Amino acid sequence: MKPNPNSSHASLANGDRPAHAACGAGQPARADTPAWTPTTWRGEQAYELTAASWRAVVSVERGRLVHFGPADTGRNLLFETASRQDPFSWGGHRVWLGPQALWGWPPPDAWERAAAENVEVNGSRLALLMPDAGSGFPRLTRIYEVSGSRLACRVAIAGGTQAVQVMQILQTPQATTVDLTPAPSAQWPRGYFRVGGDIGPSMEPVFLLPAGVQERPGHVHIAFAGKSDKFAFPPQALAAHTGGRTLLLAFGESRGTELDAPDGGFYTQVYIGHAEAPVVELEQLSPQWKAGEDAEFTMYVELAPLAAPKE
């Protein structure tokens, strides 16, 4: 079934495709305003948008952003998998509700391996309602829209009885390197800390310099070094270098009644994979909000300009 931008709102019945709806009928977008348009990606229903210097593709059947890269080359700077049968991942932009201690592992299929239940398109705004994960978790909606030169990746939650945070995770290839800014303090002398991976221990103030990590004043550079590791930093915009370009991933707005600050409020995190998980994951996490209230968290993705050639 091809996407039908004139269909009405509907729920997804078993075996059906996601329902699609266009909003703002009778209010055509300006000719110079980028808009999401139907396309096919790896044989899957999808939408694409080109804005500024980048192109983005969202797969309806994976319920997520699956492609982000330069508009002029067609190269995908995100980690991608050939099909939804891949046992490791569906790639691209993962979204979970945390803290992870609420569900352990693996994530609920409703977040990780499900098509969007409903799709709404309104010019440069694309909203995907994901299936109900049950267990008292709120329903989540992934929203992708243009914000200046950036792609805003918003996650809105509603209902539920669990107090949760939003965990936005952008999977990139293993060769990706990442630059971040530490914030040294009496509690955290290095200005960041280990928060997962195979090496441990986590959330310790003093630790040996990890393999693959380089430090200099005001700067930390992270690269794959053979073993899984994960680090947490204060909220910030990080720079990820992959495919000859630089992705800028910024911590955005949080809207909701804050209940707690998981990981001590160090919400910008980087996960380094291993042989069976050949990825570098760039993460922006929200605070944990009061249960039962609507909330929303945004991160921004941007393609850094190419450096001007030296004369």
Residue 206 lies in a domain: yes
Residue 190 lies in a domain: yes
Residue 8 lies in a domain: no
Give the predicted TM-score (pTM) of the model: 0.91
* 22 — pLDDT class (breaks 50, 70, 90): low
What is the count of structural domains for the chain? 1
Residue 12 lies in a domain: no
Q: Tell me, what CATH number does 230's domain have? A: 2.70.98.10
Residue 6 lies in a domain: no
pLDDT higher at 155 or 17? 155
Residue 101 lies in a domain: yes
Range of the domain at 286: 19-23+31-303
- The candidate with the shortest Cα–Cα distance to 64, out of 93, 38, 97, 43, is 93
pLDDT higher than 70, residue 246: yes
Residue 202 lies in a domain: yes
Residue 310 lies in a domain: no
Q: What is the dihedral of CA 228, 88, 141, 43, to 10 degrees?
A: 140
Longest dimension (CA), the chain: 61
Q: pLDDT tens-digit profile of 36-92?
A: 999 999 999 999 999 989 999 999 999 999 999 999 999 999 999 999 999 899 999
Between CA 214 and CA 223 the distance in angstroms is 9
Between CA 139 and CA 203 the distance in angstroms is 30
